[in-house]
Structure 1
Amino acid sequence: MRPLQISAETALKISKSLNMPLEQILHMPQHILLAKLAEIEKKKGQENP
């Protein structure tokens, strides 16, 4: 599996928001990463109605 095609800056932001190591973000399958990001956005939406 090849690393995600995202910039280093984007990877750092995602890493911080998911509280995961940068290397794990870069090697995570894209569909799983998108699901995790959607989950975070859903939680943010519930906190800030």
Structure 2
Amino acid sequence: MRPLQISAETAQKLSKELHLPIEQIMHMPQHILLAKLAELQKKKQEKGSD
């Protein structure tokens, strides 16, 4: 599987938000990354509505 086609800056931001190493972000399947981002967004929305 080839690495995701994202910039280094994007990988760093995702790594910080998801609390995962950059290497893991770069080699994560795209559908799993999208699911994690959706989960993160949901948590932020729930936290904001409290």
Same fold (TM over 0.5): yes
Query: Alignment identity in percent?
Result: 71
TM-score by length of 2: 0.96
Aligned residues: CA RMSD: 0.3
Moved over 4 A (4+): none
- Inter-partner Cα distance in structure 2 for 1:34 and 1:28: 10
TM-score by length of 1: 0.98
Gaps of 5+ in 1: none
SS in 2 for 1:3: coil
Gaps of 5+ in 2: none
